[in-house]
Structure formats: structure tokens, C-alpha cells
Amino acid sequence: MAILLPPTQFDFPPAVPVIERVLGMNEVHRFCNARAGQAGDMGQTWGCSWKEGGKCYVVRVDNESVRRHELAHCNGWPHDHPGGWGVSY
């Protein structure tokens, strides 16, 4: 399992409320791909996040690096992951 971690400017606790749901891998994959909708299959994903109504929503597997990755998106880290660096498990 390899995960991209965010650059430091996005790696901090979000200022907005975070609604977080931790699920199993299969459920995360199904949910996040369904959420992507017409954007197409995201492949085997470990989490997804989006902002809505002044909150950030995170759906992810139980892994702290995945949590850091998704919370960085809450802080504005673009989904093309500039400046990300990888860790493997």
C-alpha cells in the first residue's frame, strides 16, 4: 500500500468541521467511486473527501496516513496532489 502525504502547507488540523467516516476497504472503494460519478472509476482508493456547507466530509479506511491525506484536501490541497510524497506500508 502506497500513500501520498501532503506538503507541510496543507498538513494541519482543518479549521472547518470535519465529518469523518471510517469504513472497510471494499466499502470505501464503492462509496468513493460512486461519489466520483461521471468522473469515472478512481481505481482502488483508500479514501475520498469533499467540502459542502462549510464542512469537510471524509470517507476513508482506518489508516493515519490516509487520514492525513484526506484532511489535507479539506485544507485546500488540490486533487492532483502537487508536492505530495509517498510512503509505503
Residue extents of the structural domains in the chain? 2-83
For residue 2, what pLDDT is reported? 79
Q: Are 19 and 33 in contact (CB under 8 A)?
A: no
Percent of the chain past pLDDT 90, that is, above it, reads 72
Q: Quick one: average pLDDT of 36-54?
A: 77
The confidence band for 86, taking pLDDT boundaries of 50, 70 and 90, is confident
Residue tagged 484526506 (cell numbers):
70
CA-wise closest residue to 60 among 78, 82, 35:
35
Question: Distance between CA atoms of 74 and 48, rounded to whole angstroms?
Answer: 10
pLDDT exceeds cutoff 60 at 55: yes
User: For residue 3, what pLDDT is reported?
Assistant: 87
How many CB atoms are located within 10 Å of the residue 31 CB?
Answer: 17
- The answer to whether residues 7 and 73 touch, using CB atoms and an 8 Å cutoff, is no
